[in-house]
A and B are shown apart, each in its own frame.
Chain A
Amino acid sequence: MSAHADTHAHEDDHGHHHKETFVTKYIFSQDHKMIAKQYLVTGTIMGVIGVLMSMMFRMQIAWPEEPNVLFEALLGKWAPDGVMDADIYLALVTIHGTIMVFFVLTAGLSGTFSNLLIPLQIGARDMASGFLNMVSYWLFFLSSVIMVISLFVEAGPAAAGWTIYPPLSALPMAQGGSGMGMTLWLVSMAIFIASSLLGSLNYIVTVINLRTKGMSMTRLPLTIWAFFITAVIGVISFPVLLSAALLLIMDRSFGTSFFLSDIFIQGEVLHYQGGSPVLFEHLFWFLGHPEVYIVILPAMGLVSEIMASNSRKPIFGYRAMIASILAIAFLSTIVWGHHMFVSGMNPFLGSVFTFTTLLIAIPSAVKAFNWITTLWKGNLQMNPAMLFSIGFVSTFITGGLTGIILGDSALDINVHDTYFVVAHFHLVMGISALYGMFAGIYHWYPKMFGKMLNKNLGYIHFWITAVCAYGVFFPMHFIGMAGLPRRYYTNSNFPLFDDLANVNVIITIFALIGGAVQIVYLYNFFSSIFFGKKATQNPWKSTTLEWTAPVEHMHGNWPGEIPHVYRWAYDYSKPGHDVDFVPQNIPLKDGEEELQH
């Protein structure tokens, strides 16, 4: 009863709210839909920077130490006569990893879609705290700005790898990038973590408290389940990275020895005594591994939703999907040691982590089979979002399978830190999560901007990207199994690897084409905002609540009362109905039974 009164109070508020200025509407907005768009645009800009960096270092790997006009134009003093410097190579690799993992696939993906979809799909007027939500975005923006500024410091940006293991990252004399560049990296990440925590707390509170009448947990779309659990993992693991970053700042600037001991560098012994770099690895990977699930779970949620809608079929095994999300979330926090099999950690611990790591394959397999079964006997609508979803399942399987090699400590000995690892994680979390993000953008663009994306450009975008993604990362497994280490500026000092040079050229060509075709997507994205075809209210004929809201954005999402929910989110092609979808806000017919899903 009291919940009902609240709703009314909210509506009254909404009835005579203050007039919006440009600043409150577009910049310091507290509206979840605008914040979602801000996340998406910021993430896109960071993504362009991250991808450009990968293009550059791929060219260096394929044609080592050859002059390149692009390097000369973009890298300036770091590419004397157009030849890339070895220091900046490592910096590019480092910042590419940081930007893609955190700024694009964490904030850009989860930030965008959690913000957009949580209130709309659970039937809430907005996030639990619009103010915190705004603060969360602006902290993210600030951290992005600091990360970009760090690219311009005198001694170069952070270059110790995105994992920033000390002592390399702790000692400015160990490499140029460990000076001011690393300080800015750490500051940027600390702010990023604060942003992420505020966002996550908001998502959790909103999902738990603000679901509309009838929206029980087992009627939630899988997207919401994925965002909810992602936020929980984030809240558990991000603070640990924050502590690691703070301790590293202490070591760097205040002379403590948390991670450092017995160091002799450039002719002198440093005072550090008693710390251990392995401690940092533990702290880092306690976030670092859950982080890959923070990246992939939202993509899984989006894909589940899009697949069901475009197959015109319920998602297969709804409860098993939730159970596997929960299982993955639980296991994700107890597997971090598989990044450290050869770190000097006790081999017995290695055994434990092998065991827990390989267990993750079970819920992952369940999810993959459920997606495939969802397609079976469907009526598949091949919209670009659907193509990216199918692509997601494909790369997730290809990349995921090699996880059973890397998770096996005995096998990891020999492929650890080779290109095999690079191939594995790019397919399973990089490309897959990007596909999930693209799928989400193609599917919910009408909701975000009230316009449709051009589908033909979407098809071109998907097919060329899909071919290039395999062209880049599939051969990479093989050069990894041949023993080629990652993060090498050039392999020309090892004649042993000479016969792999042509593979690297092929990979780079695929990468350049794949990178270039993203221009098609960017064109589609930005031009459709202005010139796209006007969207109808429910263009994909979906069942979830966001498609019952008007196309034009408004504060509070729905004019009048919030829709009530009477069924789960997947009543597609349900027998006994004339249409092939029944939205969640349609009451059950007389005698109709809700599926015991």
Chain B
Amino acid sequence: MTALLTIIVLVFILIAIWQMVKIFDLAQAKNENSQVATDKDNTLNAYLMMGFLAFIYIITIVCLVKWGDLPLMSNSASAHGPTIDNLMVISMVIIFFVQTVTQFLLHYFAFKYKGEKGKKALFFADNNKLEAIWTIIPVIVLAGLIIYGLNTWINIMGVDESDDPLVVELYAQQFNWKARYAGADNTLGKANVRLIDIDRANILGIDEADPNAQDDVITTELHLPVGKPVLFKMRSQDVLHSAYMPHFRAQMNCVPGMITQFGFTPTVTTAEMRETPQMQEKVKRINNIRVENSKPLLAKGEEPLESYEFDYILLCNKICGKSHYNMQMKIVVETQEEYNAWIKEQKAFKNSLIN
């Protein structure tokens, strides 16, 4: 039935197009109907070009105003975050400047030099000076961006072990995350997926004989003390995953058979982040939407959507299978005291095993 309806609609559309073509053709003088653009077409399309330029500018402004309070360009919650955000802002300014100017030139020329019968174009084939100008200017701008970018990159990726970072393992599997803390010795015990023993609840394949492993702590929430450098060691047991922590400007793939790493220092606790005006406004906006979305649910007699409270999250950002879209872990950034209290409540690895 649906197929039949679809076919009928399609047929009607085709007939409509056919009729439209006939109207166009009838509206045109007989000798003009060569399907090559006439002066009239040139003028019409030249004006449309200017209209289109306006459209590009308007859509740019609308996007910036409506969705430009980019959480990813401000409000970072890690020590290196502002350096990325700065570079992002600089790049964005350059992009918008170049975009505005070049789109203007392109569309304005298309408007200004629209074809007219009898007019002859300027024979202008070459100009080395111009070519040099628009080779050298990009070279200078890009040189600046490259130097700034590489400097930022090296600072972020170079982990300074002398900072005595808190070592945490992020462990990925279809479709959830685990965190493993190194315990008092701050050294993770050896691990390999071949040592996984589900019956004994050794789910991360930790070497039970390794002394460093005994005080390791496995959790399903990621808690981080504020202001303390943390070094993540990432593992995956099955397919590629990617640990994406957008608020901390952090991302690294988790690769089976290999340990990857990424380090950063969280600078804003969850509680502080919730208090910022930007976040409060965002949460309010989201909750209004959720109330709105709950109405049809309530009408059907179902539970309404839960009200939202801000939390940092860790998302999977590398396609990993059916439930890729729901592979997340809550991140809590808290004071050192709160962190100490929380970690004390967690079971050490040696006590979590089932014998």
Contacts and interface: CB of A to CB of B under 8 A. Distances in A.
A409 B152 CA distance: 9
A475 B156 CA distance: 29
Given A380-B110, A410-B84, A475-B67, A362 B138 contact: yes
B34 A533 contact: yes
B251 interface: yes
Contacts of A408: 87, 91, 145-146, 149, 153
Contacts of A375: 106, 109-110, 113
Interface in B31-73: 33-37, 41-42, 44-46, 48-49, 52, 55-56, 59-60, 63, 67-68, 70-73
A8 to B, nearest CB: 36
A417 B106 contact: no
B72 A482 contact: yes
A130 interface: no
A146 B97 CA distance: 47
Interface string A282-326: 000000000000000000000000000001111111111000000
B343 interface: no
B24 A378 contact: no
B237 to A, nearest CB: 5
Interface stretch (A25-33, A159-167, A209-217): A159-167
B126 A262 contact: no
Contact of A523 (B14, B122, B152): B14
Contacts of B242: 342, 416-417
A481 B70 contact: yes
Nearest to B327: A493
A313 B249 contact: no
**A interface bracket (residues with beta carbon within 8 Å of B):** 35 or more
A495 B55 contact: no
B255 A276 contact: yes
Given A342-B252, A380-B114, A523-B14, A168 B239 contact: yes
B246 A414 contact: yes
Contact of B106 (A87, A397, A467): A397
A264 interface: yes
B154 A501 contact: no
Contact of A498 (B49, B174, B308): B308
B8 interface: no
B184 interface: no
Contacts of B234: 344
Interface string A395-438: 00110011011001111011111100000000000000000000
A311 B71 contact: no
A264 B193 contact: yes
Nearest to B51: A463
B241 to A, nearest CB: 10
B55 A347 contact: no
Nearest to B17: A523
Contacts of A463: 48, 52
A476 to B, nearest CB: 10
Interface stretch (A107-115, A238-246, A484-492, A557-565): A484-492
A179 B162 CA distance: 48
Contacts of B14: 519, 523
Contacts of A409: 149-150, 153
A414 B84 contact: yes
Nearest to B316: A485
B260 to A, nearest CB: 4
Nearest to A451: B35
Contacts of A532: 35
B193 to A, nearest CB: 4
Nearest to A164: B319
Contacts of B228: none
Given A313-B122, A408-B145, A379 B110 contact: no
Contact of A358 (B6, B56, B145): B145
B52 A275 contact: no
Given A276-B255, A314-B125, A397-B99, A355 B205 contact: no
Contacts of A536: 34
A482 to B, nearest CB: 6
Interface string B91-119: 11011001100110111011001111001
B35 A533 contact: yes
Given A369-B134, A394-B107, A539-B34, A260 B149 contact: no
22 contacts: A168-B319, A263-B237, A264-B194, A275-B257, A342-B242, A355-B150, A366-B135, A369-B102, A379-B121, A394-B52, A398-B99, A398-B103, A408-B145, A410-B150, A411-B87, A470-B59, A474-B59, A489-B324, A495-B305, A501-B289, A573-B122, A580-B121
Given A382-B41, A382-B44, 6 more contacts: A165-B319, A358-B145, A362-B142, A401-B95, A413-B250, A453-B35
CB-CB nearest 5 A-B residue pairs: A261-B257, A483-B246, A347-B157, A452-B35, A344-B260
